[in-house]
Amino acid sequence: MLNDVVGHLTHSSILVPYHGWRISHRTHHQNHGHVENDESWHPIAEKLYRSLDTVTRMARFSPVSMLAYPFYLWGRSPGKTGSHYDPNSPLFLPSERKDVLTSTACWSAMAALLLGLTIAMGPIWMLKLYVVPYWAFVVWLDVVTYLHHHGHDEKVPWYRGQEWNYMRGGLSTIDRDYGLFNNIHHDIGTHVVHHLFPQIPHYNLIEATEAVKPVLGKYYREPEKSLPFPVHLWKILIKSLREDHYVSDKGDVVFYQTDVKGETA
């Protein structure tokens, strides 16, 4: 109950439906690395990619995609239906509908509060107090989550069918060094061990990562060391958006391919 109360307060304050996001993120952890079943920055199969309209394709494969989070909450990713706010969404089980309704109600209360403050204090005040910080948060969240699953120099595999398992999915994540920001977001850059053992609290992630490195051997990808500010990540992000477009419609072990026709340009 305490987790739920704190979760609703903190998530609603940043316009995120707590239970809706909690459940979909659980789905991500249970299925990471699976082409069809993953829920966070999963790859698009070539047939679906080719069917996307030009605007959608440009938005998905350009820096504009780093503004995607609130739109993903409303309508999920290309090829998937449902909403984090809808209790009848395919994201959720029937037993979870009450939780989703509760979170949507809390989100609505926060939205109403922001609207009231905007009317009372003026839009410029609200722009400075909330809107600009909110979009800075969205961009940083999308950059961090995207780079945990994309952009390694050697292509990372994605799986289907019997080739997928929990261990393989966890090992297809990528650790990142965020410099001064590591402590601010609780060392989530140590993402491999976070996926393999999500029950490990954040303050033990670095120690746990050092412990598993000798065991994982060549299957662990050492992150590039960051300067105090992680400016190196911008180059990695842009390169990935230009190259990681789709995976094959067939095959149980697939890798990102590039649209050589330049249709995302």
Q: Are 247 and 255 in contact (CB under 8 A)?
A: yes
In the prediction, which pLDDT does 206 show? 96
Q: What residues form DSSP beta bridges with 34?
A: 159
Question: Which structure tokens are listed for 183?
Answer: 């402590």
Terminal CA-to-CA distance of the chain, rounded, Å? 49
pLDDT in tens, 103-154: 999 999 999 999 999 999 999 999 999 999 999 999 999 999 999 999 998 8
- Please give the model's pTM, rounded to 2 decimal places: 0.91
Please compute, for residue 162, the number of CA atoms within 13 A of its CA located in the half-sphere on the CB side.
0
pLDDT at 264 over 60: no
Residue 262 confidence (pLDDT) = 59
Q: Tell me what the mean pLDDT of segment 247-262 comes to.
A: 91
Quickly state the pLDDT bin for 265 (edges 50, 70, 90): very low
> Measured between alpha carbons, how far is 9 from 13 in angstroms, rounded to an integer?
6
Q: Is the pLDDT of residue 39 over 50?
A: yes
Q: CB–CB of 84/96 below 8 Å?
A: no
Mean predicted confidence (pLDDT) in 225-254: 95
What average pLDDT does the segment 72-97 reach? 94
Give 220's contacts (C-beta < 8 A, 6+ positions apart): 171, 175, 192, 212, 213
Average pLDDT for the chain = 94
**Per-residue confidence (pLDDT) for residue 175, from 0 to 100:** 96
**pLDDT per residue over 171-199, tens digit each?**
999 999 999 999 998 999 999 999 999 99
3-state DSSP of the chain = CHHHHHHHHHHHHCCCCHHHHHHHHHHHHHHCCECCCCCCCCCCEHHHHHHCCHHHHHHHCCHHHHHCHHHHHHHCCCCCCCCCCCCCCCCCCHHHHHHHHHHHHHHHHHHHHHHHHHHHHCHHHHHHHHHHHHHHHHHHHHHHHHHCCCCCCCCCCEECHHHCCHHHHHHCCCCCCCHHHCCCCCCCCCHHHHHHCCCCCHHHHHHHHHHHHHHHHHHCCCCCCCCCCCCHHHHHHHHHHHHCCEECCCCCEECCECCCCCCCC
Q: How confident is the model at residue 38 (pLDDT cuts 50, 70, 90)?
A: very high
pLDDT confidence bin for 29, thresholds 50/70/90: very high
**pLDDT, position 78:** 87
